[in-house]
Structure 1
């Protein structure tokens, strides 16, 4: 979704109503391949309005499905999302400096409002860090040939004398020469 600022100036009285299907799959795979496997079509609805002081306000609801890798098995997991995007854009540095540093205001570059990157960033920042496939769960312990994943509560500390014996056998490799180590 790209708009020239001149196009948006027509929407000072009435906002531009947005109802579009977006395909940002290629950009998502290129820029965020470590976080997601695919991004299915996104339905963007909302308004873009040209405000006083040459500010452009973007209010969009983004609905779609991201394909994320399972944290347990790396299987593809469809994760439906609904993200509200509310951003304010200004046209020059002087206008940008008028806002408090805690406010989220963006500068329009090359006289064009390019929302694709902003939409993708809003989606990515709202995705969970971990998801699990339907046949997996966060609580499900894993096990395999001769090993088993256990919880911290089930962990039993090994006997301390066994560890001490193993460490003492290493002492033969490192003789104690206190005379050689004094000035080091």
Structure 2
């Protein structure tokens, strides 16, 4: 979804309505292969309007499915999402500098509004850090030698004596030595 600024000028009075299906799977795999295994075609709806002071307002809803690696097994997990995208674009550095640094305003480069890159960045920033397959979510808690994974409601605060013993043993690893300071 790329638009020349000249094309968007005719949408001063009424916004350009967007209802498209786009495929960003190739750039997603190329630029974000550590977070995304695949990105299914996206359905993008919303509007783009050319506002006063040569600013371009973009208000979109992005719906799609990302294929993410499971945090436990690296098996593929289908993750459905719906993300709002509201951004403002300006055409020169002087106008951009007039906005506070906390505001999300972007500079249009080469007289072209490239929404593909912006859409992909919005998706990646909204993806969860960890996902699990359905089977992994159904499994009983994991345990090992001397430990087990428990739910928060099953947690019992350790007795103070046990805690002190453990931390006292750590002192053996860090002897007091004034020469190291």
Calculate the TM-score normalised by the size of structure 1.
0.79
- Which position in structure 1 is the counterpart of 2:58? 58
Change (3 A) 1:67 1:12: same
Query: Cα deviations across residues 108-163 of structure 1 (Å, max 9, x unaligned)?
Result: 0000000111000001111100011011129842358x797444958x97xx7xxx
Change (3 A) 1:149 1:37: farther
Matches within 5 A, 1:164-175: none
In 2, Cα distance between equivalents of 1:76 and 1:119: 22
- Which position in structure 2 is the counterpart of 1:43? 43
Matches within 5 A, 1:14-29: 14-29=14-29
Deviation larger for 66-75 or 79-88: 66-75
Query: What is the deviation of 1:100?
Result: 1.0
The answer to whether residue 96 in structure 2 is matched with residue 96 in structure 1 is yes
Q: Please tell me the root mean square deviation across aligned C-alpha atoms, in Å.
A: 2.9
Q: Which runs of 4+ in 1 moved over 4 A?
A: 146-149, 151-154, 181-184
**What secondary structure sits across from 1:110 in the alignment?**
coil
Gaps of 5+ in 1: 168-180
The answer to whether residue 123 in structure 2 is matched with residue 123 in structure 1 is yes
In 1, Cα distance between equivalents of 2:55 and 2:28: 28
- Which position in structure 2 is the counterpart of 1:84? 84
Gaps of 5+ in 2: none
More helix by proportion, 1 or 2? 2
Aligned residue-pair number = 168
Contact map agreement 1:141 1:148 (CA 8 A) in 2: no
Calculate the TM-score normalised by the size of structure 2.
0.81
Larger Cα Rg: Structure 1 or Structure 2?
1
In 2, Cα distance between equivalents of 1:16 and 1:138: 46
- Which position in structure 2 is the counterpart of 1:5? 5
Query: What is the deviation of 1:183?
Result: 7.9
Query: Cα deviations across residues 65-110 of structure 1 (Å, max 9, x unaligned)?
Result: 0001111111111000000000000000010011111110000000
Query: What is the deviation of 1:9?
Result: 0.3
